[in-house]
């Protein structure tokens, strides 16, 4: 299995696993945003994970901005992925798109 396929598989896992937890909560509580944030920061352990993911998302947005300048305009997709699913989809999607760009650049060199 090549890197491109691994990144694509990680995109799938990065979408399914977080939503596996979120969708039942959503069915139970609806779009209760205050409750969502209250639950997300319910204790120090959940706050630890929430802040870790938030900082990781910020780092990923910065990385996307740098890569977008270098690779072109298709890189808006990972930013949308971070906002709709999370870092678990945004990062492997960015790496997948970078792999596609690298393959095209290698092809043009030969």
Residue by residue, DSSP assigns the chain as: --HHHHHHHHHHHHHHHHHHHHHHHHHHH-S-HHHHHHHHTSSHHHHHHHHHHHHHHHHHHHHHHHHHHHH-GGGHHHHHHHHHT-HHHHHHHHHHHHHHHHHHHHHHH-
* For range 11-27, the mean pLDDT: 97
Report pTM: 0.85
* pLDDT at residue 102 greater than cutoff 80: no
């Amino acid at each position: 299995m090549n890197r491109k396929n691994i990144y694509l598989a990680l995109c799938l896992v990065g979408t399914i696993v977080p939503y596996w937890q979120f969708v039942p909560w959503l069915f139970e509580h609806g779009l209760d945003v205050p409750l969502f944030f209250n639950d997300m920061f319910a204790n120090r352990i959940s706050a630890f994970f929430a802040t870790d993911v938030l900082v990781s998302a910020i780092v990923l947005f910065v990385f996307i901005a740098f890569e977008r300048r270098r690779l072109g305009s298709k890189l808006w997709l990972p930013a949308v992925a971070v906002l709709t699913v999370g870092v678990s989809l945004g990062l492997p999607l960015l790496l997948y798109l970078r792999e596609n760009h690298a393959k095209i650049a290698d092809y043009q060199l030969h």
